[in-house]
Amino acid sequence: MSKIELLAKIELLNKYEAMIEEMKNEADTIRNSIKAEMEAREVEELIAGQYIVRWTSVLSNRFDSTSFKKVLPDLYKAYTKQVSSRRFSISV
């Protein structure tokens, strides 16, 4: 691939990523307006045509690894493993 082709692909990628971000922002705006309507109606479930929209509270339990590491650092270290991955980035 030539430098010109590579540059064109990077610029196209940047354009698409900007479009994706813009669409995500639009979707978030719409999602928030639906949530606001549900709050105004004081409901957790809303039926609109063939759609059922639910906005409910969920409780979950998560492991607090930071506290565990402070209290039992040796045990934390014994059960921690290093993982390798690759990161793709383009900078100007």
pLDDT along the chain (92 residues), means of 10: 96 97 98 97 95 95 96 95 93 84
Domain count, the chain: 1
Burial of 70 (0-12, 13-18, 19+ CB in 10 A): exposed
Q: The domain containing residue 41 runs over which residues?
A: 3-78
The reply to whether 11 falls in a domain is: yes
Indicate whether 65 belongs to any domain. yes
Within 8 A by CB and 6+ apart from 69, the residues are: 76
Kindly state whether residue 14 falls inside one of the protein's structural domains: yes
- Rounded to whole angstroms, how far apart are CA atoms 16 and 24? 12
What percent helix, strand, coil does the chain show, rounded to 5? 55, 10, 35
Residue 50 lies in a domain: yes
Residue 25 lies in a domain: yes
Could you tell me the pTM of the whole model? 0.72
Q: Which tokens hold the place of 87?
A: 């990161």
